[in-house]
Amino acid sequence: MAHPSRPVDAQQLSLFDLLPAPLAAVPVATPKAAAPPRLAVALAAPQAAPLPPAALTSAAAGLAAAASAPRFQHPRAQRSITLGEYPVGYEFRRARRRSIGFVVGLEGLSVSAPRWVAVGEVEQALQAKAGWILRKLHEQHERAQRLQAAKVVWRDGTTLPFLGDTVIVLLDSRVTGAQLNSDGQALPGVPRLTLHLGLPQTATQEQIREAVQSWLQRQARRIFEERCAHFASRLGVRIKRLSLSSAATRWGSASASGAVRLNWRLVHFALPVIDYVVTHELAHLREMNHSPAFWDVVRSVLPDFERHRGALRTEVLPAFE
């Protein structure tokens, strides 16, 4: 499947696919002679009645909701607008185009417009598309939170996805290299896979990351070779060369010469997702396009491929850097 932002190359097709202010001077009155003592009665200032517990709970919930509400502010925002109940700071630029364009990414909302379109018209267009823009901003906000949570802390006991399962990384100087163990008696909800690395407890984060990445890449090559051989025979195609890729925006590619490249990060996904990408690329060795005939080739060996390809867009992979 071709990357959406690139033209399709007839010879190669790819699959896709964060100092306080000084105090004011206070005037001091000049002391006067003391007045004779006088009987005075002081009246206490009236005090507000305490709020009932329900009102306090409601107020606290409102403050918590306001604090947790997402802020939609593009880091290069020059303008802002209120869409619904949300203030949105957006990047605005003039471009050589015929219409107003909106792009919502991890950074926020970017707007481009022709030079002859007034700012008022741009803001009218933003209001007209407010529902769509806010929906996409919320989606990107949630995705940014997932990406933040996906950052890996490289230490003993960290966890990673492997073939759709969770594996615990353990530093174990008794082993050589890396060794994957499986506990078939693990309790529900407890990862059953442990990856033992032949590293001491004093190993640096960089050493742990390199050891894990090398092991994952070896597993990826082994799995890809097995799955390619399996589906190539079923599709009647021949692979001239299979190589691993580290591309940031492509899951795989295939060329008319028979060369296939697969992103090693696919090893994080469950096997049916890997099979879809493998089949997709091998199908290009018969149909170098995305015509109905191409999808018929994919469907001939994976009738339910639509169930699995969505994971490539929705699942967030661990951030290694």
Q: According to the model, what pLDDT value does residue 112 have?
A: 95
Q: Is residue 141 part of a domain?
A: yes
- Of the two residues 6 and 286, the one the predictor is more confident about is 286
Q: Is residue 33 part of a domain?
A: no
Lowest average pLDDT, out of 1-15, 17-31, 39-53, 98-112, goes to: 17-31
- Of the two residues 31 and 153, the one the predictor is more confident about is 153
- Of the two residues 172 and 314, the one the predictor is more confident about is 172
Residue 108 has pLDDT above 70, yes or no: yes
Q: According to the model, what pLDDT value does residue 28 have?
A: 29
Burial class (CB within 10 angstroms; exposed 0-12, middle 13-18, buried 19+) of 72: buried
Share of the chain above pLDDT 70, in %: 76
The domain of 120 spans 72-149
According to DSSP, the residues that pair with 260 across neighbouring strands are 242, 254
C-alpha radius of gyration, the chain, whole number:
30
Residue 303 has pLDDT above 50, yes or no: yes
pLDDT, tens digit, 9 for 90 and up, residues 205-233:
999 999 999 999 999 999 999 999 999 99
The rounded distance, in Å, linking the Cα atoms of 299 and 280 is 10
Of 128, 149, 170, the residue that ends a domain is 149
Q: How confident is the model over 99-110, as a mean pLDDT?
A: 92
Task: Tell me, yes or no, whether 137 and 190 share the same domain.
Answer: no
pLDDT, tens digit, 9 for 90 and up, residues 250-301:
999 999 999 999 999 999 999 999 999 999 999 999 999 999 999 999 999 9
Task: Tell me, yes or no, whether 114 and 189 share the same domain.
Answer: no
For residue 72, what is the enclosing H or E element?
Answer: strand 72-73
Q: Is residue 278 part of a domain?
A: yes
Task: Tell me, yes or no, whether 176 and 220 share the same domain.
Answer: yes
Q: How confident is the model over 25-37, as a mean pLDDT?
A: 36
Q: Is residue 80 part of a domain?
A: yes
Residue 57 has pLDDT above 60, yes or no: no
pLDDT, tens digit, 9 for 90 and up, residues 142-190:
878 777 777 888 999 999 999 999 999 999 999 999 999 987 655 566 6
- Of the two residues 142 and 35, the one the predictor is more confident about is 142
Q: How confident is the model over 47-70, as a mean pLDDT?
A: 51
Task: Tell me, yes or no, whether 163 and 141 share the same domain.
Answer: no
pLDDT-based confidence at residue 8 (cuts at 50, 70, 90): very low
CATH code, domain with 193: 3.30.2010.10
DSSP string, 303-317: TTTHHHHTHHHHPPP
| Polymer length in residues for the chain | 321
pLDDT-based confidence at residue 114 (cuts at 50, 70, 90): very high
The whole-chain average pLDDT of the chain stands at 81
- Of the two residues 202 and 106, the one the predictor is more confident about is 202
pLDDT-based confidence at residue 58 (cuts at 50, 70, 90): low
Q: Which residues contact 206 (CB under 8 A, 6 or more apart)?
A: 154
Residue 44 has pLDDT above 50, yes or no: no
Task: Tell me, yes or no, whether 305 and 171 share the same domain.
Answer: yes
Q: According to the model, what pLDDT value does residue 91 have?
A: 96
Q: Helix (H) and strand (E) counts for the chain?
A: 8, 13
Query: Of the candidates 164, 175, 236, which has an alpha carbon nearest to the alpha carbon of residue 200?
Result: 175
Q: Is residue 30 part of a domain?
A: no
According to DSSP, the residues that pair with 65 across neighbouring strands are none
Q: According to the model, what pLDDT value does residue 29 have?
A: 35
Q: According to the model, what pLDDT value does residue 171 have?
A: 96
According to DSSP, the residues that pair with 135 across neighbouring strands are none
Q: How confident is the model over 57-71, as a mean pLDDT?
A: 55
**Total domains in the fold of the chain:** 2
Task: Tell me, yes or no, whether 211 and 101 share the same domain.
Answer: no
Query: Of the candidates 245, 316, 218, which has an alpha carbon nearest to the alpha carbon of residue 14?
Result: 245
The tokens for 223 are 């799995």
Q: According to the model, what pLDDT value does residue 110 have?
A: 95
Q: According to the model, what pLDDT value does residue 187 have?
A: 59
Q: What angle do CA 277, 3, 236 make, to 5 degrees?
A: 35
Q: According to the model, what pLDDT value does residue 30 have?
A: 34
Q: What angle do CA 73, 78, 81 make, to 5 degrees?
A: 60
Task: Tell me, yes or no, whether 194 and 260 share the same domain.
Answer: yes
Q: According to the model, what pLDDT value does residue 190 have?
A: 63
